[in-house]
Copies of this chain bind each other. A is one copy, B any other.
Amino acid sequence: MPEVILYVAASVDGYIARPDGSVDWLETLPEPEAKSEPEPAGGQVEADDYGYGEFIAGVGVVLMGRVTYEQILSFGVAYPYPGTAGYVFSRNRAGEQDDNVRFVAGDDIGGLVARLKAEQDKNLWLVGGGQLVREFLRLDLIDRIELFILPIILGEGIPLFPPATPQRDLTLTDCRAYATGMAQLTYRRAPAQGSSGVV
């Protein structure tokens, strides 16, 4: 069953970018050591790409906001999600498409997600940004959160969960520390009765 996955990196204080949108600080962390290293003490896990290769191989659809898409294009590198169906939420450009994505208005996000889950069997990656995350949370459409926390307090920036995000109880399913200082928290929905816990 395909999942909608929020797979995102943030600072300890919950920012996904500096106020001007720059993500230079995301680059400060080195690649983890190759998998052949023995597992270090303390239960930290090494992975040569933070598990991204395995994650992206299981993704069939990417979902993002307009500003996020424009920022990706501005990096001046090849589009990073070839082989996926892309949907960018933009009222102004709804109905258009380019080489990478279709633009949709977002009037029926629940219907779109249901259709994408029915017509293909890979995961849907909610790339961002914060406003789209807030909308997906409001509609309770996020099945899993892979939150990568960089070991930095930014102090100011664009929040992952912007104001007026609704309250959501979650279930923690994993907590991993990488030797680079990255922490990865995996959350799913809380059980239907609303209690938090671990599956």
Contact = CB atoms under 8 A, between A and B. Distances in A.
Interface in A167-188: 167-183, 185, 187
Given A161-B13, A164-B156, A185-B183, A42 B174 contact: yes
A2 interface: no
A111 B196 CA distance: 43
B178 A198 contact: yes
A190 interface: yes
Given A167-B155, A181-B172, A196 B13 contact: no
Contact of A167 (B152, B165, B172, B178): B152
Contacts of A145: 12
Contacts of A36: none
A181 B170 contact: yes
23 contacts: A12-B145, A12-B147, A12-B170, A12-B187, A13-B159, A13-B161, A28-B169, A149-B185, A151-B171, A151-B172, A151-B197, A152-B169, A152-B170, A153-B168, A155-B167, A156-B164, A172-B177, A175-B177, A179-B197, A180-B196, A181-B196, A181-B198, A183-B185
Interface of A: 12-14, 28-29, 42-44, 137, 145, 147, 149-156, 159-161, 163-183, 185, 187, 190, 195-198
